[in-house]
Chains A and B, each alone.
Chain A
Amino acid sequence: MSLLEVNNLTIAFGDKKVVDSISFTLEKGSRIGLIGESGSGKSMTSLAIMGLLPDTATVSGSITFEGQELIGLSDREHSHLRGNRMGMVFQEPLTALNPLMRIGKQIAGPLMIHKGASLKDALGSALELCTKVGLPDPDRVLRAYPHQLSGGQRQRIGLAIALACEPALLIADEPTTALDVTVQREVLNLINTLVDQEGSSLVFVTHDLPVVSIMTENIAVMQLGQIVENATVASLFQAPKHEYSQRLINAARVAEDAFSGTGGIK
């Protein structure tokens, strides 16, 4: 049994289909990258898995997670899985943290909700999680407010929150897009290490082909709500079957050429 099976998932707002009957499976401990431009439906897909789509969306098809059908699950039942069996890291680490709540309590949240931990115990675990995500001086970090930390530190907190309950599935929705290039690499390496360590599966959503290629072994290329190509990283780079995949690769090459000096920037 696969950990996650998405079958003919369709998400529509009124008449407009933002995700159009996509299917993919994710085995336990494996990873998949969802790549595509803005509006290709990759974020909507991840929100559908988390059960966080707005009320106005109509969803059809099937998503099975650990053998359980998620479409049609009540919000209450779905909330038992969120943050517990499945965790999510968001794009903008500053706005994804409550500005008026100390970091410690925010990391402690999922542990208190799902594991019934007391605040004291949860804060103890939060301290360990801070160390695990490589934050220096975790005691100070737990007492800090989000605005007192740097972007990279905040994203590490986001990761700590998502992984607090040791989820089977981690969804990372453009987790490094809002970060400095130098920090991006650190955060990507951290996600890599932690996902391996925990044996979690990973859905990595991005528009950045080079990033996804170092994070996952499989890539699903999305365009206008459809998966136009589903391939391994190696075969996608060597022989892209779809014209849109080719364009993505070309775009990534342009950037590479620029750095290696054969392109525009001297």
Chain B
Amino acid sequence: MKKAMKGNISLITGSVMVAITFSLLILSFIWTPHDPLEVTPDDSFAGISSKHFLGADKLGRDILSQIIVGSRVTLLVAALAVTIAMTLGVSAGITIAVASRKLQAPMVYAVNIALAFPAALLAIILAAVYGASTLTAVSAIGLATAAAVAQVTRRTAYGILASDYVLAAHACGASTWRIIRKHVMPNLRASLLIQASAVVSVSVLAESSLSYLGLGTPPPAPSWGRMLAGSQQYIFVNPLLAIWPGIAIVIVVLGFNLVGDGVREVFDPTLRRSDS
């Protein structure tokens, strides 16, 4: 791992950013400066002080504490959305790629329809049926991004299946299943990592917007997205309120993207600097 890190600026920077987010998550279970939900009218819009390191919002709730606890929702959303999107998307994409010509067309249409379906609409439907919660938001995000993952997986898998080394593997008598495991999956890995890191970013941002629309994490549980949305109306009075959750979101999104990029470099032997 040390060797992989060496000179890989994306991976180093990204790992630090992701590590910061995960330390916030761990910290949230151990200690917060204040109860993040504690309302103290006297501290309304309090600036940076020794009592409130990052200030307080309109109701006098401590911003730092909210950010620390808010990391739970963000990372939960990211983890679940990636799991849903990648599991569904990758299996659908590969299934379509190896399916017979006749079956391919209807499956591709199905993916295109899913792709055209707006995530917000899906979230509204799910929220109407099951009630607004982090889980319904995550399901909507996961399902919506799964279609995009399926599309990319299918196209990349087509290219791999058409390659000479897959033909050569067939010529060795390899079964379709073996070809998927030994040839398609490893060669998909780089593009899947990029996809996964993109899904993390999209889902963190989408959860923020869905929470803003009242379709995500319901109040009062702190969520970076809702903090950002809530601070919108005070942006000229107290811009710091919007900046803190904004920075937090940027760190997660950028961190995962950089890690995705850096890890791709580690997995691709042709991009490796030192020979094995």
Contact among B170, B178, B189, B268 with A82 in the assembled complex (CB-CB below 8 Å): B170
A98 near B187 (CB under 8 angstroms)? yes
Contact among B164, B173, B187, B270 with A90 in the assembled complex (CB-CB below 8 Å): B164
B173 near A97 (CB under 8 angstroms)? no
* Chain B residues within an 8 Å CB radius of A87: 171-172
Contact among B100, B168, B171, B269 with A147 in the assembled complex (CB-CB below 8 Å): B269
A114 near B173 (CB under 8 angstroms)? yes
- 13 additional A-B pairs beyond A79-B170, A99-B165, beta carbons within 8 Å, are A83-B174, A90-B167, A90-B168, A90-B171, A92-B164, A95-B163, A96-B164, A96-B168, A97-B165, A97-B168, A99-B187, A101-B186, A145-B269
* Chain A residues within an 8 Å CB radius of B187: 98-100
A98 near B182 (CB under 8 angstroms)? yes
Q: Is A113 an interface residue (CB 8 A)?
A: yes
* Chain B residues within an 8 Å CB radius of A50: 170-171
A90 to B165, CA, bound (A): 9
Q: Is B58 an interface residue (CB 8 A)?
A: no
Could you tell me which residues of chain A, from 143 to 168, have a CB within 8 Å of some CB in chain B? 143-145, 147-148, 158, 161-162
A99 near B172 (CB under 8 angstroms)? no
A96 to B101, CA, bound (A): 24
B contact residues vs A (CB 8 Å cutoff): 100-101, 163-165, 167-175, 178, 182-183, 186-187, 189, 267-270, 275-276
A145 to B271, CA, bound (A): 12
* Chain A residues within an 8 Å CB radius of B275: 148
Q: What are 24 inter-chain pairs, A to B, with CB distance below 8 A? A: A52-B167, A52-B171, A79-B174, A79-B175, A82-B172, A82-B173, A83-B171, A87-B172, A90-B164, A90-B167, A95-B165, A98-B165, A98-B182, A99-B165, A99-B269, A99-B270, A113-B173, A113-B178, A143-B276, A144-B276, A145-B270, A147-B269, A158-B168, A162-B171
- Chain A contact residues (Cβ within 8 angstroms of B): what range? 35 or more
* Chain A residues within an 8 Å CB radius of B101: 55-56
Contact among B165, B178, B182 with A96 in the assembled complex (CB-CB below 8 Å): B165
Could you tell me which residues of chain A, from 83 to 105, have a CB within 8 Å of some CB in chain B? 83-84, 87-88, 90, 92, 95-101, 105
* Chain A residues within an 8 Å CB radius of B168: 88, 90, 96-97, 158, 161
B171 near A145 (CB under 8 angstroms)? no
* Chain B residues within an 8 Å CB radius of A228: none
* Chain B residues within an 8 Å CB radius of A143: 276
Could you tell me which residues of chain A, from 29 to 85, have a CB within 8 Å of some CB in chain B? 50, 52, 55-56, 76, 79-84
A110 to B178, CA, bound (A): 11
**Contact A81:B164 (CB < 8 A) given known A98-B182, A99-B187:** no
A88 near B173 (CB under 8 angstroms)? no
Q: Is A175 an interface residue (CB 8 A)?
A: no
Q: Is A225 an interface residue (CB 8 A)?
A: no
- By beta carbon, the residue of chain B nearest A46 is B171
Closest 8 A/B residue pairs (Cβ): A83-B172, A83-B173, A95-B164, A82-B173, A88-B171, A96-B168, A110-B172, A145-B269
A100 near B269 (CB under 8 angstroms)? yes
B174 near A109 (CB under 8 angstroms)? yes
A173 to B187, CA, bound (A): 25
* Chain B residues within an 8 Å CB radius of A113: 172-175, 178
* Chain A residues within an 8 Å CB radius of B172: 82-83, 87, 109-110, 113, 161
A161 to B172, CA, bound (A): 8
B210 vs chain A, min Cβ distance (A)? 38
A158 to B168, CA, bound (A): 9
Chain A CB within 10 Å, residue with most, of B172, B174, B178, B268: B172
- By beta carbon, the residue of chain A nearest B165 is A98
A90 to B171, CA, bound (A): 10
A80 to B170, CA, bound (A): 10
B173 near A145 (CB under 8 angstroms)? no
A92 vs chain B, min Cβ distance (A)? 6
Contact among A55, A81, A82, A92 with B100 in the assembled complex (CB-CB below 8 Å): A55
B182 near A82 (CB under 8 angstroms)? no
